[in-house]
């Protein structure tokens, strides 16, 4: 009887271990690749998220691979895809600098049984990418446009610097920005393209400033564009005269917010993009039901929206506290700094409309 019980218990233990062993076995030979767009602190934050996810999954370091070309380089991204297809990896998450040019090689990866997802910048419509993980770029662009409207209530000329004429995130942010300022007195200049090269971005910012002595504002579409504008504005001794609205929140952004050269920035959650990309591929590779996995990660119509935060001098300290609470690493600190009393504070559009209506009602009531 005793022996019978021992056998039963052993079988029960073995059964309860099966899924765990199965999972560990699947992870042992799992390799996940994330391909970004350029060498930049923004992408270093993505990489931190990628590595953190690898650790959380217990994957050996060489089975979580992160690759970026030095600057925008579609051919290098295609080449990297080819290499990882040949290596037979489990999944590839890619930020396609030119989604139409990348789609055929992404399709070849999918045909080879490799999970393909996208991050940071969306793929073409009807892509083989199982899910896009990143910012809703059009909406984020409208937020940048709203910030510019609030900074320039009387309008004026605004320069736009961006790092791509093909990546959908750059195009959608620009479209969103233009949609938000439409009908206002803000006149947007033709965007200038630096192909993700900070030196070129700075040169272009300098030339736009010298060619337009009446420049009232500048919009930086990619992570280094805001700091490029802020550097040019600082060198031209125009801090505060030319309002700068940026994207992202690297050390440079925060330093320029504290110096007064950047008035607002739309901070993406790139660490989360990297982390989620790895987690989603690992889950897809280990579960039959793709839809259930995507639903569990909060995907809606093939998109996991990582969200944005709008940073201004008024809330950058709270933002830092929020990051610390979430455990998201950052090199910068706002300790020892306080915003000026009249520092710009962004009001989300609906709130502003609501405030205007509230004010109108109050004025009416006062008149009665």
Considering the complex, state which of residue 222 and residue 319 has its C-beta at the smaller distance from ligand BGC: 222
| Residue 247 touches ligand BGC, criterion: CB under 6 A | yes
| Residue 222 touches ligand BGC, criterion: CB under 6 A | yes
Given a contact cutoff of 8 angstroms between Cβ atoms, the answer to whether 54 and 278 are in contact is yes
> Half-sphere exposure of 332 toward its Cβ, with a 13 Å CA cutoff?
19
Considering the complex, state which of residue 43 and residue 346 has its C-beta at the smaller distance from ligand BGC: 43
Instruction: Please provide the size of the chain in residues.
Output: 368
- What is the contact mask toward ligand BGC in residues 84 to 103, using x (rule: CB under 6 A)? -----------x--------
The distance of closest approach from Cβ of residue 71 to ligand BGC in the complex, given in angstroms and rounded to an integer, is 8
| Residue 198 touches ligand BGC, criterion: CB under 6 A | no
Show the 3-state SS of the chain.
Answer: CHHHHHHHHHHHHHHHHHHHHHHHHHHHCCCEEEECCCCCHHHHHHHHHHHHHHHHHCCCHHHEEEECCCCCCHHHHHHHHHHHHHCCCCEEEECCCCHHHHHHHHHHHHHCCCEEEEECCCCCCCCCCCCEEECCHHHHHHHHHHHHHHHCCCCEEEEEEECCCCCHHHHHHHHHHHHHHCCCCEEECCCEECCCCHHHHHHHHHHHHHHCCCEEEEEECCCCHHHHHHHHHHHCCCECCEEEEEECCCHHHHHHHHHCCCCEEEEECHHHHHHHHHHHHHHHHHCCCHHHHHHHCCCECCEEECCEEEECCCCHHHHHHHHHHHCCCCCCCCCCCCCCCCCCCCCCHHHHHHHHHHHHHHHHHHHC
Q: How many beta carbons lie within 10 A of that of residue 339, not counting itself?
A: 18
The distance of closest approach from Cβ of residue 106 to ligand BGC in the complex, given in angstroms and rounded to an integer, is 17
Considering the complex, state which of residue 31 and residue 164 has its C-beta at the smaller distance from ligand BGC: 164
| Residue 121 touches ligand BGC, criterion: CB under 6 A | yes
Considering the complex, state which of residue 90 and residue 268 has its C-beta at the smaller distance from ligand BGC: 268
| Residue 269 touches ligand BGC, criterion: CB under 6 A | no
| Residue 229 touches ligand BGC, criterion: CB under 6 A | no
Considering the complex, state which of residue 30 and residue 74 has its C-beta at the smaller distance from ligand BGC: 74
| Residue 248 touches ligand BGC, criterion: CB under 6 A | yes
What does the alpha-carbon distance between residue 28 and residue 219 come to, in Å, rounded to a whole number? 46
- What is the contact mask toward ligand BGC in residues 122 to 161, using x (rule: CB under 6 A)? ----------------------------------------
Considering the complex, state which of residue 248 and residue 320 has its C-beta at the smaller distance from ligand BGC: 248
| Residue 118 touches ligand BGC, criterion: CB under 6 A | no
User: How many amino acids of this chain bind ligand BGC (CB under 6 A)?
Assistant: 16
Considering the complex, state which of residue 242 and residue 267 has its C-beta at the smaller distance from ligand BGC: 267
| Residue 38 touches ligand BGC, criterion: CB under 6 A | yes
Considering the complex, state which of residue 249 and residue 293 has its C-beta at the smaller distance from ligand BGC: 249
**Residue of this chain nearest to ligand BGC (CB atom):** 223
Stretch that binds ligand BGC, among 99-107, 153-161, 216-224, 300-308 (CB under 6 A): 216-224
What does the alpha-carbon distance between residue 292 and residue 341 come to, in Å, rounded to a whole number? 49
| Residue 275 touches ligand BGC, criterion: CB under 6 A | no
The distance of closest approach from Cβ of residue 46 to ligand BGC in the complex, given in angstroms and rounded to an integer, is 9
Considering the complex, state which of residue 120 and residue 136 has its C-beta at the smaller distance from ligand BGC: 120
Site residues, ligand BGC (CB under 6 A)? 37-38, 40, 42, 95, 120-121, 163, 169, 196, 222-224, 247-248, 268
């Amino acid at each position: 009887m005793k022996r019978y019980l021992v056998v039963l218990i052993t079988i029960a233990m073995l059964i309860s271990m099966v899924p765990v062993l199965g999972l560990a076995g699947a992870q042992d030979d799992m390799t996940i690749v994330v391909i970004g767009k350029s060498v930049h602190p923004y992408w270093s934050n993505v990489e931190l998220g990628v590595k953190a996810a690898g650790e959380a999954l217990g994957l050996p370091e060489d089975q979580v691979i992160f690759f970026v070309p030095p600057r925008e380089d579609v051919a290098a991204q295609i080449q990297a895809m080819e290499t990882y297809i040949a290596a037979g990896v489990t999944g590839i998450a890619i930020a396609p600098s030119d989604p139409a040019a990348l789609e055929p090689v992404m399709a070849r990866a999918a045909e080879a049984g490799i999970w393909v997802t996208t991050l940071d910048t969306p793929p073409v419509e009807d892509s083989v990418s199982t899910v896009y993980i990143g910012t809703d770029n059009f909406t984020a662009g409208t937020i940048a446009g709203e910030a510019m409207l609030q900074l320039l209530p009387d309008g004026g000329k605004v320069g736009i610097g961006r790092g791509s004429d093909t990546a959908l995130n750059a195009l959608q942010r620009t479209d969103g920005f233009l949609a938000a300022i439409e009908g206002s007195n803000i006149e947007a200049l033709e965007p200038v393209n630096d192909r993700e090269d900070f030196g070129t971005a700075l040169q272009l910012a300098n030339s736009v400033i010298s060619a337009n002595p009446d420049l009232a504002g500048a919009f930086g579409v990619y992570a280094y564009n805001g700091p490029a504008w802020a550097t040019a504005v600082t060198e031209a001794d125009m801090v505060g005269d030319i309002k700068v609205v940026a994207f992202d929140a690297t050390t440079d952004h925060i330093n320029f917010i504290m110096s007064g050269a950047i008035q607002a920035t739309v901070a993406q959650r790139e660490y989360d993009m990297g982390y989620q990309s790895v987690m989603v591929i690992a889950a897809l590779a280990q579960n039959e039901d793709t839809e259930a996995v995507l639903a569990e990660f909060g995907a809606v119509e093939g998109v996991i929206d990582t969200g944005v935060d709008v940073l201004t001098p008024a809330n950058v300290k709270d933002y830092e506290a929020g990051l610390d609470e979430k455990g998201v690493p950052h090199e910068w600190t706002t300790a020892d700094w306080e915003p000026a009393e009249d520092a710009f504070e962004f009001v989300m559009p609906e709130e502003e409309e609501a405030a205007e209506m509230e004010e109108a009602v109050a004025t009416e009531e006062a008149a009665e």
